[in-house]
Amino acid sequence: MTDDCEKSNADGGSDKKAGDVTSALAIDVVGLKKTYQGGGGAPAKEALKGIDLKIRRGSIFGLLGPNGAGKSTTINILAGLVKKSAGRAEVWGFDIDENPRNAKACIGIVPQEIYFDAYFTPREMLEQQAGYYGVARKDRRTDELLELLHLSDKADAYARSLSGGMKRRLLVGKAMVHNPPILVLDEPTAGVDIQLRQQLWNNVRKLNEQGVTIILTTHYLEEAEELCDEIAIINHGEVVACDSTSNLLQQMDEKIIRIRPMEPIGELPATLQTLGAEINDELGVTIRYRPSERELGHILQQVSQSGIGIADLSTEESDLEDIFLQLTGNE
Give residue-wise pLDDT tens across range 271-310: 888 888 888 876 788 888 877 778 888 888 888 888 888 8
CB hemisphere CA count around 277 (13 angstroms): 25
**Of all residues in the chain, what percent carry a pLDDT higher than 90?**
44
Using alpha carbons only, what angle is made at residue 28 by residues 25 and 31, rounded to the nearest 5 degrees?
160
- What pLDDT, on the 0 to 100 scale, is given for residue 322? 72
289: CATH: 3.30.70.100
Number of domains in the chain: 2
Same domain, 285 and 212: no
Of the pLDDT bands very low, low, confident and very high (cuts 50, 70, 90), residue 98 is very high
Task: Please say which residue of 249, 281, 296 terminates a domain.
Answer: 249
Same domain, 104 and 220: yes
Task: Please say which residue of 192, 216, 249 terminates a domain.
Answer: 249
More confident call, 194 vs 27: 27
259 inside domain: yes
- What pLDDT, on the 0 to 100 scale, is given for residue 122? 95
For residue 29, the cross-strand partners are 53, 89
pLDDT reading at 20 higher than 60? no
- What pLDDT, on the 0 to 100 scale, is given for residue 27? 97
327 inside domain: no
Range(s) of the domain holding residue 183: 3-249
- What pLDDT, on the 0 to 100 scale, is given for residue 107? 95
217 inside domain: yes
pLDDT reading at 87 higher than 50? yes
Same domain, 45 and 8: yes
More confident call, 326 vs 12: 326
Same domain, 158 and 34: yes
pLDDT reading at 10 higher than 70? no
Mean pLDDT of 113-123: 86
Closest CA to 317 of 230, 260, 241, 258: 258
238 inside domain: yes
Average model confidence (pLDDT) for the chain? 85
Distance CA 226, CA 208 (A): 14
Q: Measuring CA to CA, how many Å separate 228 from each of 56, 59, 60, 64, 220?
A: 12, 8, 5, 11, 12
72 inside domain: yes
Task: Please say which residue of 249, 284, 307 terminates a domain.
Answer: 249
- What pLDDT, on the 0 to 100 scale, is given for residue 88? 97
pLDDT digits (tens, 9 = 90+) for 151-167: 999 999 998 899 888 88
**Of all residues in the chain, what percent carry a pLDDT higher than 70?**
89
Same domain, 188 and 308: no
Look up the pTM and report it: 0.74
For residue 287, the cross-strand partners are 257
Same domain, 95 and 197: yes
Closest CA to 77 of 58, 59, 112, 53: 53
200: CATH: 3.40.50.300
